[in-house]
């Protein structure tokens, strides 16, 4: 099993910062995807309106998830789809294994699916003597390298062309090449044989439509169409949050997802699958099985703040926009889901105790919230999780009450304008006690207890002092004096 | 073969999961009310397509569709009838040294492909045979002008593998089937009727290696579209 180090972000990040190859790759990502997304966004009339609609659809779905999920199941069953329910990853793996074994398959082809990464399906298949073949080019590369994805859309973004060429030389015996078309052609040649032989194909699901029982999967390569179209049995692993109410809701998400993810107006292929073939001589698999995965998701519904995480459509825009991800890459997060969304999902899926550094792996700059196509307030979520960590530490007598209080205040200060004003005013008064030579120096003793976040912050750097008057005060005064400048 | 025991086993978690969803939703009721002030759920879907659909003429739709095919690197031509389509096919066969063609079972595809006798034309090709064909010929039921997208329905023709496996895909589309927006198309297609609907926008592609675009990773390397104007 791949060793996940989600509670070791600090150490991982330090190592990543010293890796020049990684930096080149990440700069390429930021330059490319951020710009492409910006251009693609401008090709729709009302981007903000679309985001608002998408979020409203997700909110509506999640607030009635039991109903929409059951409606989806009922309608898909009419088309002959078989459903399986999994409370956790182990249960999902067991179900998939049984389905694969029933086909007598020793090998399965897989298309990229974050849900199957989350449950470590490949490890479970290998342990049972079944060979899983990842067929997405990026996923195949990292499978050959025995790594985990470092990005949810471009899994091998951390690897250079040269590293990939070396890997292909070693693992599949090609001549060394620097030609991307040759590398891609190698994958095509080898994986086509696997597609032709495979009895079982395993995929994820992007959206499940309650109204019609349709599953929608998006891609660019064609490997998902192969995986879902060639083998006799198709198994789809689907998080229970992937439901949308109506077929026409797909309009909104098909506009947002490709533009946000890869900067495309539409990916090359969408497969809309609503049941198994009608007649024996029709195309497609004889059986379609959908494994519905909970694995901590239903618990996230219990609070509106954490529930937002379930609106995520896995586009990866928050990774590309994040100044922390841009510096340290995906592996530093030590989890299947990296970046800002990973920092909020991972602690909720794995338990806070196993990933308690991740909610701090952010400067709360808000770039992620800005780009999120479904308007997930990731900074709000991070603060919520930080507060929970502080709460949990209450039982640990070494942690001071003041620290917990500080985090709570810190969190609620940012989320309420009134309190923000009060908080900055209070800080303005208190800083008089600590300002030295025009800077806020290291805070210690009594003051550190009074203003706890400043303790850790100022241990590393000087902060400029807070202005004598707030911006709002100055603004109001300027307005009153009739001089906006 | 699958046993009944397996199936009942794997749906044993259904009730606990639904119960857990309901429990969590009930627990959040109090704070939901507060939150709803910030994010009201009002008529949350209105098709964005209505404005665009009425103002475009038939020619404008074809023009938009072809302009977007061009942006995607798709080779396309507007042809007046089946004969012209067949001429295009013959030229493609000669230019790409094609020996075997897989064809779907739609009427227009049969009309175009039937008189072709200098190469092997295979309908209802088996999986194995498909991997040896150099060209797949299908039609599409709809076109989306704003993205240059082809929409293929499984009830209309056996399109799934013919449009995917051979390295060249040639697709025929009647001009009258083009609409401007995705929203319009989603209202026209029926997923209950068609067990698989496939949207195709350009040739197979990937940017997985250093974000460098490579065409034809798993699916067709070339996509050709013939728009049949009346």
What's the average model confidence in pLDDT over A432-437?
Answer: 47
CB < 8 Å to A161, chain B? 209-210, 212
Helix (H) or strand (E) holding A290: strand A287-293
Q: Which of A282-296, A334-348, A433-447, B137-151 is predicted with the least confidence, judged by mean pLDDT?
A: A433-447
What's the average model confidence in pLDDT over A105-122?
Answer: 97
What is the Cα–Cα distance from A431 to A470, expressed in whole angstroms?
A: 14
pLDDT value at position A445?
42
Q: Which of A18-27, A465-474, B209-218 is predicted with the least confidence, judged by mean pLDDT?
A: A465-474
**Interchain CB distance below 8 Å, B13 and A87:** yes
pLDDT value at position A369?
97
DSSP 3-state percent helix, strand, coil across chain A (nearest 5): 55, 10, 35
Q: Which of A148-162, A293-307, A383-397, B120-134 is predicted with the least confidence, judged by mean pLDDT?
A: A383-397
Q: Which of A24-28, A37-41, A86-90, A219-223 is predicted with the least confidence, judged by mean pLDDT?
A: A24-28
What's the average model confidence in pLDDT over A100-112?
Answer: 97
pLDDT value at position B53?
54
**Interchain CB distance below 8 Å, B41 and A303:** no
Q: Quick check: A360 pLDDT over 80?
A: yes
Helix (H) or strand (E) holding A370: helix A367-371
**Interchain CB distance below 8 Å, A283 and B197:** no
Q: Which of A269, A282, A296 to mutate to test the interface with B (most CBs of B within 10 A)?
A: A269
Helix (H) or strand (E) holding A112: none
What is the Cα–Cα distance from B107 to A267, expressed in whole angstroms?
A: 29
Question: Looking at A301-405, which runs of residues are DSSP E strands?
Answer: none
Full DSSP string of A51-99: HHHHHHHHHHHHHTHHHHHHHHHHHHHHTT-EEEEESSHHHHHHHHHHH
Residue with token string 């909970």: A294
Residues of chain A with CATH 3.40.50.10420: 9-298
What is the Cα–Cα distance from A99 to B11, expressed in whole angstroms?
A: 13
Helix (H) or strand (E) holding B90: helix B82-95
Nearest-CB residue to A226 (from B20, B32, B218) = B218
Q: Quick check: A214 pLDDT over 70?
A: yes
Q: Quick check: A462 pLDDT over 90?
A: no
Q: Quick check: A3 pLDDT over 70?
A: no
Nearest-CB residue to B212 (from A180, A262, A299) = A180
CA atoms within 13 A on the CB side of A413: 15
pLDDT value at position A190?
97
Nearest-CB residue to B211 (from A32, A284, A300) = A32
The ipTM is 0.92
pLDDT value at position A425?
56
Q: Which of B41, B191, B193, B205 to mutate to test the interface with A (most CBs of A within 10 A)?
A: B191
Q: Would you tell me how many other CB atoms lie within 10 Å of the CB of residue B76? A: 21
Q: Helix, strand, or coil here: A152? A: coil
Average pLDDT of chain A is: 86
Nearest-CB residue to A277 (from B2, B195, B198) = B195
| A424 band by pLDDT with thresholds 50, 70 and 90 | low
**Interchain CB distance below 8 Å, A161 and B192:** no
Q: Which of A43, A86, A302, A348 to mutate to test the interface with B (most CBs of B within 10 A)?
A: A302
What's the average model confidence in pLDDT over A373-401?
Answer: 80
Distance to chain A for B76, nearest Cα, Å: 17
Q: Quick check: A381 pLDDT over 50?
A: yes
Widest CA span in chain A = 83
Place domain A9-298 in its CATH homologous superfamily. Answer: NagB/RpiA/CoA transferase-like (3.40.50.10420)
Widest CA span in chain B = 74
CB < 8 Å to A251, chain B? 47-49, 182-183, 186
pLDDT value at position A470?
73
- Output the six-digit token pair for A81: 């789809």
The residues that bridge with B32 in the sheet, in sequence order, are: none
- Output the six-digit token pair for A253: 């998400």
**CB distance A205 to A186 below 8 Å:** no
pLDDT value at position B6?
47
Overall pTM > 0.90: no
CA atoms within 13 A on the CB side of A56: 18
**Interchain CB distance below 8 Å, B127 and A196:** yes
What is the Cα–Cα distance from A116 to A364, expressed in whole angstroms?
A: 30
Q: Which of A142, A278, A131, A276 shows the shortest CA–CA distance to A213?
A: A276
Closest residue in chain A to residue B52, using alpha carbons only: A45
| A229 band by pLDDT with thresholds 50, 70 and 90 | very high
Closest residue in chain B to residue A293, using alpha carbons only: B17
> What one-character DSSP code corresponds to residue A318?
H
Averages of pLDDT over runs of 10 residues in chain B (230 residues) are: 48 95 90 50 45 72 97 97 97 96 96 94 93 97 97 96 98 96 95 97 95 95 95
pLDDT value at position B30?
73
Q: Would you tell me how many other CB atoms lie within 10 Å of the CB of residue B11? A: 16
Higher pLDDT, A20 or B135: B135
Q: Which of A118, A5, A2 shows the shortest CA–CA distance to A356?
A: A5
Q: Would you tell me how many other CB atoms lie within 10 Å of the CB of residue A369? A: 18
């Amino acid at each position: 099993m791949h060793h996940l180090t989600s509670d070791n972000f600090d150490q991982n990040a330090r190592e990543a910062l010293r890796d020049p190859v990684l930096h080149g790759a990440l700069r390429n990502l930021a330059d490319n995807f951020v710009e492409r997304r910006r251009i693609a966004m401008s090709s729709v009339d009302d981007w903000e309106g679309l985001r608002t609609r998408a979020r409203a659809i997700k909110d509506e779905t999640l607030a009635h998830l039991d109903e929409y999920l059951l409606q989806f199941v009922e309608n898909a069953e009419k088309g002959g789809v078989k459903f399986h329910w999994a409370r956790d990853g182990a249960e999902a793996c067991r179900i998939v294994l049984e389905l694969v074994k029933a086909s007598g398959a020793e090998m399965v082809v897989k298309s990229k699916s974050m849900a199957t990464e989350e449950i470590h399906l490949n490890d479970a298949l290998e342990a049972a003597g079944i060979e899983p073949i990842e067929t997405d080019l990026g996923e195949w590369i990292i499978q050959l390298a025995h790594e985990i994805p470092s990005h949810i859309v471009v899994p091998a973004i951390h690897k250079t062309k040269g590293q990939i060429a070396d890997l292909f030389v070693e693992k599949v015996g090609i001549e060394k090449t620097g030609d991307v078309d040759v590398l891609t052609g190698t994958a095509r040649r080898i994986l086509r044989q696997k597609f032709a032989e495979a009895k079982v194909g395993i995929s994820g699901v992007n959206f499940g439509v309650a109204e019609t029982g349709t599953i929608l999967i998006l891609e660019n390569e064609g490997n998902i169409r192969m995986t879902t179209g060639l083998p006799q049995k198709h198994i789809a692993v689907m998080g229970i949050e992937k439901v949308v109410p109506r077929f026409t809701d797909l309009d909104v998400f098909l506009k947002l997802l490709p533009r946000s993810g890869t900067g495309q107006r539409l990916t090359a292929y969408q497969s809309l699958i609503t049941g198994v073939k009608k007649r024996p001589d029709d195309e497609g698999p004889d059986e379609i099985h959908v494994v519905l995965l909970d694995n901590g998701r239903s618990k996230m519904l219990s609070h509106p703040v954490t529930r937002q995480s379930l609106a995520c459509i896995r586009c990866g825009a928050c990774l590309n926009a994040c100044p922390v991800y841009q510096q340290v890459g995906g592996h530093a997060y030590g989890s299947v889901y990296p970046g800002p969304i990973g920092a909020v999902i991972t602690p909720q899926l794995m338990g806070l105790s196993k990933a308690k550094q991740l909610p701090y792996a952010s400067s709360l700059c808000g770039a992620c919230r800005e780009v999120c196509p479904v308007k997930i307030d990731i900074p709000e979520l991070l603060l919520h999780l930080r507060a929970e960590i502080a709460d949990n530490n209450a039982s640990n007598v070494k942690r001071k009450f003041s620290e917990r209080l500080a985090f709570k205040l810190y969190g609620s200060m940012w989320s309420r304008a009134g309190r923000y004003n009060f908080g900055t005013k209070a800080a303005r008064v208190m800083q008089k006690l600590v300002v030295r030579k025009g800077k806020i120096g290291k805070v210690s003793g009594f003051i550190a207890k009074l203003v706890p976040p400043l303790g850790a912050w100022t241990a590393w750097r000087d902060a400029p002092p807070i202005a004598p008057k707030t911006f709002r005060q100055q603004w109001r005064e300027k307005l009153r004096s009739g001089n906006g400048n | 073969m699958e046993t009944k025991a397996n199936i009942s086993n794997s749906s044993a978690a259904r009730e606990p999961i639904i119960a857990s969803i309901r429990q969590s939703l009930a627990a959040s009721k109090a704070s939901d009310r507060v939150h709803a002030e910030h994010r009201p759920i009002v008529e949350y879907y209105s098709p964005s397509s209505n404005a665009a659909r009425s103002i475009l003429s038939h020619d404008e739709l074809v023009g938009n569709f072809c302009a977007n095919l061009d942006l995607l690197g798709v080779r396309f031509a507007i042809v007046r009838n089946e004969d012209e389509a067949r001429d295009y096919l013959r030229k493609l066969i000669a230019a790409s040294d094609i020996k075997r063609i897989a064809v779907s079972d739609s009427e227009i595809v049969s009309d175009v492909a039937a008189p072709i006798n200098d190469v092997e034309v295979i309908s209802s090709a088996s999986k194995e045979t498909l991997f040896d064909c150099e060209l797949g010929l299908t039609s599409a039921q709809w076109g989306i002008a704003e993205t240059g997208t082809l929409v293929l329905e499984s009830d209309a023709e056996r399109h799934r593998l013919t449009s995917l496996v051979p390295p060249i895909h040639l697709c025929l589309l009647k001009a009258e089937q083009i609409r401007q927006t995705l929203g319009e198309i989603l209202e026209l297609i029926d997923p209950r009727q068609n067990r698989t609907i496939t949207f195709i926008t350009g040739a197979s592609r990937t940017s997985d290696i250093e974000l460098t675009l490579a065409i034809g990773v798993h699916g067709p390397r070339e996509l050709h579209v013939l728009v049949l104007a009346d």
